[in-house]
Amino acid sequence: METVSRKLGVRLEVAEAHVDSALEEKGLPTNENRWCTRMKIEALYRKIREASRGRTLIVVGDRDAESELRSKRPFVRTHEEFTQVAPLKLWSGSHVQLYLLKNNIPLNPLYLEGFYRLGCFICPALRSWEIMILKNNLKLIPGDQLNLFKSFLRCKGERA
């Protein structure tokens, strides 16, 4: 993220959700209990409130192809003092990658392995083929996340 923000000439603000410290108490997230999503969204809104004054426009990268829920969201939606706009809503993973390549923005290595969306390494929404790619390419997982990913695999009944 630092490299991309420097390349684009924008200030990077980091919103910390501390999901990793909540894992001990809450356990790994599941499809039925994605507590981590709430934590991340709350942290994001806190950071935006810190950095903004009053009504705020948030440009999100949500795409219909990422999930059924995202495909049902409108292009523009308002929540409290935030208005979100999703200009990439109809883009595919290929559109995203072509845009990045055309503008000399480095691709995340997971795109080169076949991923069309990126998220957390312990997301319950990961598909079996995505988990297989990660298992076979542990070097793509940041060192501080590796033990967490291995715990995730054990919970799924798999080995690293």
Parse the chain into domains and list their residue ranges: 1-51, 55-105, 108-159
Q: Give the mean model confidence (pLDDT) for residues 66-89.
A: 93
List, as own/partner pairs, every contact residues 16-25 make where C-beta atoms lie below 8 angstroms and the sequence separation is at least 24, other chains included: 16/43, 17/42, 17/43, 17/44, 18/43, 19/120, 20/148, 23/148
What is the b/e burial string over 86-104, where b = at least 16 CB atoms within 10 angstroms of the residue's CB?
A: bebbebebeebbeeeeeee
Kindly report, residue by residue over 42-60, the tens digit of the pLDDT: 999 999 999 888 889 999 9
CA 59/CA 77 separation, integer angstroms: 11
Specify whether the CB–CB gap between 51 and 13 falls below 8 A: yes
**pTM: predicted TM-score of the whole model, two decimal places:** 0.76
Question: What pLDDT band is residue 31 in, cutting at 50, 70 and 90?
Answer: confident
Digit-coded pLDDT (tens) for 109-154? 998 898 888 888 888 889 999 999 999 999 999 888 898 899 889 8
